[in-house]
Structure 1
Amino acid sequence: MSLLSNGIKRFPALLTLLASLFTVACNPYNQKRPAPLLVAAASDLVKVSVPLGTAFERSLGANITFSFGPSGQLEQQIRHGAPYDVYLPAARTYGESLHRDGLVEGEVLVYALGRLVAWSKTLSLSSLDDLREERVGRIALANPQYAPYGLAAQQALQSAGLWQILQPKLIYAESVSHAFQMAETGNADVALTALALVRDSDRPFLVLNQKLYAPIEQAAVVLRSSPNPQAAKAFQEFLRGEEARNILAAYGFGHP
């Protein structure tokens, strides 16, 4: 007892330092925050990602960061080692390709169906046949080679017998969101784009008959290289749930 008492008298500065270190170690604000969940997402998800991300963060307390691009380009980034946790392509086939090559942990989840529309900032369209008219100059669509919405647009025009006729008018955008931007900025007269991107537009748009193109299957996969697999799987499950389904429906996505 006396030794402890003498020690306290002799080394007050040491005790103060130890107390400070204990306080710092126990303070939750000094603990390292977990890295955000990194999600590679197809460009049609640019707008709906905001409420989806907010709802996920609120319900599970995990931070999430989205990186957008054409599904095919994102797939190539993943194959070259991009540090994503989750991949959300606008076509199930891209997720299945990664799954076959052992880059995916678990299932390829189809959580929603995309819808294709024709949108114009200045023109009113009542049918795809209107695209033949002289008042329609340039028509923007995503590149079918690596953008599912571009492929769907090609299929729709082929089904309607317009693909060859409209060739002189077609201009290719990097992604479905880029196609919309081209029409929005006047660099194209019409965009064949995603319903989710124009849902809140004050301009009327033409929703294309889904029988004209193969289903746009929005998929979600957890990447095997993810450093945060638990949170990644939680996000995939969140997309399967009712709250996410309601958010997606509000942006025009269908339920598979």
Structure 2
Amino acid sequence: MRLLPSVPVLSLALTMALFSWSAQAEKITIAAAADLKFAMDEIVTAFKKTHPTDEITVIYGSAGKFFTQIQQGAPYDLYFSADIAFPHELENKGLAGSTITPYAIGRIVLWSTDLDASQMTLQSLTDPAITRIAIANPQHAPYGRRAEEALRASGLWERLQPKLVLGEDMIQVSQFVQSGNAQVGIISLSFALNPELARKGGYWLIPDTLHEPLEQAFIITKRAEHNALARAFADYMQTPDARATMTAYGFVLPGETAASSH
């Protein structure tokens, strides 16, 4: 007669199985510039199909603020910056656990839910009827710096100062426009192409000749230098599927040109 396992034996087996599962599962936290939100959400979802037990947390915000937090010991495993200069500085400080990998060049656009931004230019912002214009804070947000550069190059920066409403990052800038706290915003093309925002308003692509390139890059941080999941995610960013998602959101990828990406 076959004997059934005793309760203690079953309990031990279950415990060992749970321990084995938890030992295999890994987790990473990614600090990503806010302009990546919609593209990165899709990329993470696709990546998890082959890493179903692993935990991936993405925190979106200002690249400049993440740069400061990493220097202060924030527990980020990968850092996706909207300005390649920040990863270079972290590398110089010994805080990078990988080589610097360029992943995209971003673009900025005028966007509005109330006005037809597709028929506007930067000169349109001088219209007295437009009283509030949202941009990311140039002090720490690369997209905000590029917005300032474009307005300065157009001779409009000083004139538009009283109208400017500063957001922390692309997420807050788009929220300002959607809530009516600003009539127009200068946001990333990646945000304007997101289906949710695209339904709410059109956009006008600001000529990239008016500002420095938005060269973006990522690193694995020093704390995650030997983290296999961080390495796997970094490798996945180079795959055709991940690149196709980035292209769909208007990013110009390394080795490609703007003409082939739009």
Normalising to structure 2: TM-score of the pair?
0.86
Distance 1:227 1:100 in 2: 16
Larger Rg: 1
Distance 1:85 1:227 in 2: 8
Q: 2:27 aligns with which of 13, 29, 36?
A: 36
Q: CA deviation at 1:229?
A: 1.9
Q: Which residue pairs with 2:168 in the alignment? A: 174
Q: Which residue pairs with 1:81 in the alignment? A: 73
1:205 maps onto 2:203 in alignment: yes
Q: Deviations over 1:35-80 (max 9, x none)?
A: 4210011111121221110111123443311011101111111111
Q: Deviations over 1:134-161 (max 9, x none)?
A: 1211111001111000001011111111
Normalising to structure 1: TM-score of the pair?
0.88
Equivalent AA in structure 2 for residue 97 of structure 1: E
Distance 2:20 2:232 in 1: 26
Q: CA deviation at 1:19?
A: 2.9
Tell whether the 8 Å contact from 2:109 to 2:186 is kept in structure 1 after alignment: yes
Q: Which residue pairs with 2:9 in the alignment? A: 19
Q: Which residue pairs with 1:95 in the alignment? A: 87
Q: Which residue pairs with 1:53 in the alignment? A: 44
Q: 2:102 aligns with which of 93, 103, 110?
A: 110
1:216 maps onto 2:222 in alignment: no
Identity %: 32
Tell whether the 8 Å contact from 1:37 to 1:228 is kept in structure 2 after alignment: no
Q: CA deviation at 1:31?
A: 3.2
Distance 1:31 1:245, change over 3 A: closer
Instruction: State the secondary structure of the residue aligned to 1:164.
Output: helix
Gaps of 5+ in 1: 1-11
Instruction: State the secondary structure of the residue aligned to 1:104.
Output: coil
Distance 1:152 1:103, change over 3 A: same
Q: Deviations over 1:78-113 (max 9, x none)?
A: 111111110011110111111100000121111111
Q: Deviations over 1:2-24 (max 9, x none)?
A: xxxxxxxxxx99x7255324522
Moved more, 15-24 or 116-125: 15-24
Q: Which residue pairs with 1:141 in the alignment? A: 135
Q: Which residue pairs with 1:4 in the alignment? A: none
Tell whether the 8 Å contact from 2:174 to 2:187 is kept in structure 1 after alignment: yes
Aligned Cα root-mean-square deviation (Å)? 2.1
Gaps of 5+ in 2: 255-262
Tell whether the 8 Å contact from 1:43 to 1:70 is kept in structure 2 after alignment: yes
